[in-house]
Amino acid sequence: MPLKLSIKVDRSVILVMCIKNLTIISQRIKRAIIGFWVILFFSFLSSFQALADELSSFEKRELSRLLEMDWNELANQPVSGVLGYDQEHWRNPASIAVIRPDDVFDGGHLQLVDSFRGVGGMYVTRGNAYDDFVTMRNFSGSATEKFLVLVDGREVLQPMGGTITWGTEEVPLALLDRAEIIRGPGASIWGTNAVSGVINVTTKPAESTQGNSIRLALESSGTFLGEFVHGGKIRDGEYYRIWVRDQEYAESDLLSGMPARDDGYGRKVGFRYDKELGMHLDLTVAGSYSTRRFEHVLDLSSRLLYPTDPNSTSPLPNSLIPPGFMGLPSVSAGEFPFIPISVATGLGLPAVPGIGDYPTWPNASGIVQPSGVPLIVNYEDLPQDAGHLRTRLSGVTGNDFEWSIDAFAEKYETNLGHVGHKWERDEYNLEFRGNRPLGERNHLAFGLGYRYMEFDVTETTTAPWRFPTINLQTGLPSSDIPILQYNGPNTFKRFSAFVQNTLEINEDLFISFGNKVEEGDLSGTTIQPGIRASYAATKNNLLWAAYSRAHRQASLVERYTEVSYARIWNPNPFHPLLNPTGQQWINQSFEADPTLDDEVMDAYEIGWRSSPSEKFLWELSLFYYDTKDAVFSGPPTYEAHDYTSVGGELTFNYIPNSFWKLQGSYSYSKGEKEGVRQTDFPESMASLASVIHAKDDLKLVQNLYFTGDRILPSSYNELSIGDYLRLDLGMIWQVGEGWRIGLFGQDLLDPDHPENMYTDLDVEPTRVKRRFLLTISTEF
Amino acid sequence: MANSVHTLWNLLSAGKVGKLTSLCSIILIVFLGQNNLRGEHDSTQITNLKATFIVHTLKYVRWHDEDFPSSQSHMEMLVVGKDEHNIASRLSYIINSSELRLKNLPIKVRNVNSWKEARELFGKGSKKIALLLDSELKSWEKEKYPDISGLLIVGESQKFLRKGLVMTFRKENNRLKLGVNLRKAKAMNLEISSKLLSLNRVIFQEN
């Protein structure tokens, strides 16, 4: 029996089918358009290829790089390696900038950190004479660095505050081999805190710094820098060096014209000893000691508060205090129940405390801030002493297994006198790393690490705060309530392991993938995988892409430190039952958040590196960061929010002719916290550097930096920083054998501008002024 | 195999630190084992290094005047064999960009396909340097070294060790090294600087 099918189709079904067909057609059109663009794109790339010589421009650049090496460097060049180790390799699937000693000297930079201004995506600002802030790719415009910095393999991020004391880590320029700035997470190799990027600073071996070298620099501000390095040979294969560095900082002016009291010094001594223990076995022992002495300020203007609505007190529950309670001037009247006591006294409000109620408080400076609040400040000493010792044993075994064992011991001691927070940190690290080729097309690396830290924290109640205040936790008056109270553990351990493999699929396609696992007291167990791939689309064009997951530990201050930044006067009459805090000061504290998780970032990056000729290289890098639980510091509270950052950098190197080199970058990045656009990081930045060899012995240098506008966040003193263009011009003479003299004019386009400060701690930013610099270096 | 998996599982079941330690042990075993899988695949990087080594090394080799007729306008370096990694172009590029001259003469690089072809060229003009590629290994014997004063022949890899060449590359511990046969150099009327020979991490002396 034949099967009879009857199909009933109504109009709506036909309509749906038509829509589906249309959708399919439109998708096909889209695909065709995409395909067209892809073909056009590769045709475009191929046109470069057709024009190119037999060797690609990348290869020519690589050969030129090798040609500049001396025998020692050549002897240490691995035949094969893991992408992620050899940052300068043109196939590296990451956005990388390398700074060499000449870049620092020719740029007229006193410190290495100054030279980061010319690196795309890096935002470098001057806080005061001795403090610089560095952030990367619109992630945390505050003082907390969310990237990892290593100096000769040693992590230099301060776990207490999550910051880097750049001045403590400086070394004489003669020692510097290079600083690699790797934008984007590198956690699968480097580990926790390699979030928005990694800065890897390496110094030269002792053999490369033989003899004596001196570098002197004098700035028109009065800042002085002196460096001396002496290196010697003990016997064949055994070398040493000793060095000393002294930077004397001149005092800056604050934006209001007041002296910033930021003069002081940073002095450092160090040594290195290298010995060849065998044909393929090396020993390095190195160390340094650094001491810095400065003063730092705490703005006290809005820290003693008077309630404008007396009914809102007695007692003062935390819930009644809005998060920005110190921000009276920026909050409309009627919404905010507190004003600074100095203002209340001036207005003659009822029941205002007399000076006998807070006798240790300093007098007003005589300056009234634009907000109308009299300025009250307290300066205290800020000493920092740090020393470390490191040992490295490294070798290569007969089966191409390259390994190293590093041991670090470090002691760091500081006293943030302005907030009465002193701590000592003893740290010990042991790391083992190895890598070797595996088969024809794999190169495998792995590492193991153990870290132990011990803290000794001492809190001091600074002089202004030593007057009776009700401690809400005890209900009793006390004259000994410190601003910061550390309540965390004193010891921390971390164990880590990573594996990374670079797989050469074919001559054009490389994939590097790996994972780092950490088990620690601060973060628990974390898994930080990463995969990167680079594809040589044509001889002169490389495309790369990466996905990484990275963690950042919340700092100890963020997690464990209770903050008491303000005291509130209760003007109501005392009553033992109804108002036991009447006519007394009440401490207002903010608990730390020990539940703050690690920040976890998923990062997606793509890049296009192109070298149309050996004289021209450009690169476009795009990124999208998606971060969960990003900690936003800024006293008094630390809060975790989800954060996204998107942007990119366009960089180029161009050598128009034999005597002129150009280098430039443009970067754009946009950050959003919980979907709200952030303004604490300049979205656009650009730089252009030009070096002209006018004569054999004369170089003319020009550096131009553009920084977009931003807003310095604050709970009570928000400050808008306008965009600024910085122009530096310099001349460098090569005088005779080994002498170099540089004369620079810096920030020539405007007399001064503000850049940064510790918000809610500092009174105001300093003026970064137009200045002139004389540098002299010699080797003998 | 099943036993290995079972053992591995037991190891991984031994707590977090235990897991990590076990994992590391496995990795160590992989790392410390012989690299048996490694084949003849040669990376671009080693070719770049060889080219750079040659250019650096030539600065430490001295030819006697009598081996260089004054009528020559340039020196010629022959790359002999199947040039899979394009070392001739690399040599040419870095010789030009470093402006290397020998006896004040510029150097030109030329690729010839076989030893046979190269042999006919030696002795004509200023062909005093040759790089013998691995493809010519089978056709090479010690006795084939032409008796031409000042002729420097370098072997591409360790396969030419003890094959009577003045210099030979060797890969050792993931680094490139250059072996120098002083006896052969002397026989060919070549002087090798002691500075070069003192670089014991780069240079080894071949007997």
| A460-472 pLDDT tens trace | 999 999 999 998 8
Q: Where is mean pLDDT largest: A320-324, A464-468, A519-523, A591-595?
A: A464-468
Query: Considering only A244-248, A410-414, A725-729, B62-66, which range has the smallest mean pLDDT?
Result: B62-66
On whether both A162 and A37 belong to a single domain, the answer is: no
Q: Is A527 on the interface with B (CB under 8 A)?
A: no
**How far is the C-alpha of B103 from the C-alpha of A743, rounded, in Å?**
41
pLDDT in tens, A255-277: 888 889 999 999 999 999 999 99
> Residue A216 is part of a domain; what is its CATH number?
2.40.170.20
Q: Where is mean pLDDT largest: A11-25, A183-197, A622-636, B96-110?
A: B96-110
What chain B holds in terms of domains, given with CATH numbers, is: 2-32 (no CATH), 45-205 (3.40.50.2300)
On whether both A20 and A91 belong to a single domain, the answer is: no
- pLDDT-based confidence at B207, cuts 50/70/90? low
**pLDDT for res A423:** 95
pLDDT in tens, A533-568: 999 999 899 999 999 998 887 788 888 888 888 899
Q: Is the dihedral of CA A326, A329, A331, A334 positive or negative?
A: positive
Nearest CA in chain B to A436: B31
Return the higher-pLDDT residue of A233 and A167: A233
Q: Is the pLDDT of residue A587 over 50?
A: yes
What average pLDDT does range B122-131 have in this prediction? Answer: 80
Q: What angle do CA B96, B101, B103 make, to 5 degrees?
A: 165
Return the higher-pLDDT residue of B88 and A14: B88
Cβ-based burial of A280 (10 A; exposed 0-12, middle 13-18, buried ≥19): middle
- Specify if A367 maps to a domain: no
Q: Is A55 on the interface with B (CB under 8 A)?
A: yes
- Specify if A444 maps to a domain: yes
- Specify if A141 maps to a domain: yes
- Enumerate residues 6+ apart whose C-beta is below 8 A from B202: A71, A74, A75, B53, B177, B178
- Specify if A498 maps to a domain: yes
Q: What is the mean pLDDT of chain A?
A: 84
**How far is the C-alpha of B162 from the C-alpha of B140, rounded, in Å?**
12
B94 vs A53, A67, A519: nearest CB: A67
Element (H, E) at B20: helix B15-32
Q: Give me the number of domains chain A comprises.
A: 2
pLDDT in tens, A616-654: 999 999 999 998 888 776 555 677 888 899 999 999 999
What average pLDDT does range A49-58 have in this prediction? Answer: 64
Q: What angle do CA A401, B197, B77 make, to 5 degrees?
A: 90
On whether both A41 and A109 belong to a single domain, the answer is: no
What average pLDDT does range A12-33 have in this prediction? Answer: 50
**How far is the C-alpha of A378 from the C-alpha of A210, rounded, in Å?**
47
Query: Considering only A189-203, A385-399, A439-453, A701-715, which range has the smallest mean pLDDT?
Result: A189-203
- Specify if A249 maps to a domain: yes
**pLDDT for res A227:** 97
pLDDT in tens, A754-770: 998 887 778 788 999 99
On whether both A23 and A155 belong to a single domain, the answer is: no
pLDDT in tens, A508-520: 899 989 998 989 8
**pLDDT for res A327:** 37
Whether ipTM > 0.90 holds is no
Which residue of B19, B28, B52 is the best one to mutate when testing the A interface, meaning the one whose CB has the most A CBs within 10 A? B52
A74 CA to chain B: closest CA distance, Å? Answer: 8
- Specify if A312 maps to a domain: no
Query: Considering only A86-100, A392-406, B130-144, which range has the smallest mean pLDDT?
Result: A86-100
pLDDT in tens, B145-201: 988 888 899 999 888 888 889 999 988 878 898 999 999 999 999 999 988 888 878
- pLDDT-based confidence at A34, cuts 50/70/90? low
**pLDDT for res A24:** 55
B156 CA to chain A: closest CA distance, Å? Answer: 15
pLDDT in tens, A707-766: 999 988 776 667 889 999 999 999 999 998 889 999 999 999 999 999 988 877 787 889
Q: Is B35 on the interface with A (CB under 8 A)?
A: yes
A578 CA to chain B: closest CA distance, Å? Answer: 56
Q: Is B2 on the interface with A (CB under 8 A)?
A: no
A226: β partners? A216, A246
Q: Is the pLDDT of residue A9 over 50?
A: no
On whether both A683 and A577 belong to a single domain, the answer is: yes
For A439-560, strand residue ranges (E) read: 442-459, 469-471, 476-478, 484-486, 491-504, 509-520, 524-538, 541-552
CB contact under 8 A, A63 and B51: yes
On whether both A171 and A36 belong to a single domain, the answer is: no
What average pLDDT does range A201-221 have in this prediction? Answer: 95
**pLDDT for res B73:** 79
A79 vs B30, B94, B171: nearest CB: B171
pLDDT in tens, A652-667: 999 999 899 999 999 9
- Enumerate residues 6+ apart whose C-beta is below 8 A from B101: B107
**pLDDT for res A329:** 34
**pLDDT for res A25:** 47
B29 CA to chain A: closest CA distance, Å? Answer: 12
On whether both A548 and A493 belong to a single domain, the answer is: yes
Q: Is the pLDDT of residue A325 over 50?
A: no
**How far is the C-alpha of A303 from the C-alpha of A198, rounded, in Å?**
38
pLDDT in tens, A107-126: 999 999 999 999 999 999 99
On whether both A77 and A45 belong to a single domain, the answer is: no
On whether both A508 and A547 belong to a single domain, the answer is: yes
**How far is the C-alpha of A45 from the C-alpha of A60, rounded, in Å?**
18
Tokens linked to A520: 């620690």
Nearest CA in chain A to B86: A55
On whether both A32 and A176 belong to a single domain, the answer is: no
Over pLDDT 90: what percentage of chain A? Answer: 48
Q: Is B199 on the interface with A (CB under 8 A)?
A: yes
Q: Is the pLDDT of residue A22 over 50?
A: no
CB contact under 8 A, A497 and B49: no
A402: β partners? A396, A435
Q: Is A86 on the interface with B (CB under 8 A)?
A: no
What average pLDDT does range B26-46 have in this prediction? Answer: 58
On whether both A21 and A103 belong to a single domain, the answer is: no
**How far is the C-alpha of A404 from the C-alpha of A45, rounded, in Å?**
41
Range of the domain at A772: 71-300+377-779
**pLDDT for res A636:** 56
Which residues 392-421 of A have a C-beta within 8 angstroms of B?
396-402
**pLDDT for res A552:** 83
B94 CA to chain A: closest CA distance, Å? Answer: 7
- pLDDT-based confidence at A687, cuts 50/70/90? very high
**pLDDT for res A72:** 81
**pLDDT for res A172:** 96
Q: Is the pLDDT of residue A335 over 80?
A: no
**How far is the C-alpha of A651 from the C-alpha of A255, rounded, in Å?**
34
A363: β partners? none
CB contact under 8 A, A401 and B32: yes
Q: Is the pLDDT of residue A430 over 70?
A: yes
Q: Where is mean pLDDT largest: A291-295, A324-328, A374-378?
A: A291-295
Give the other-Cβ count within 10 Å of A562's Cβ.
Answer: 18
**pLDDT for res B34:** 52
Over pLDDT 70: what percentage of chain B? Answer: 77
On whether both A44 and A143 belong to a single domain, the answer is: no
Q: Is the pLDDT of residue B74 over 70?
A: yes
- Tell me the backbone φ, ψ of residue B52, rounded to 5 degrees: -65, -40
**pLDDT for res A585:** 93
State the count of interchain CB pairs (< 8 A) between A and B: 126
A67 vs B33, B55, B176: nearest CB: B55
B23 vs A53, A400, A497: nearest CB: A497
**pLDDT for res A191:** 67
- Specify if A344 maps to a domain: no
Q: Is the dihedral of CA B145, B150, B156, B160 positive or negative?
A: positive
- pLDDT-based confidence at A314, cuts 50/70/90? very low
pTM for the full predicted model: 0.82
- pLDDT-based confidence at A486, cuts 50/70/90? very high
- Specify if A348 maps to a domain: no
Cα distances from A290 to residues A212, A306, A384, A742, in angstroms, run: 21, 44, 8, 27
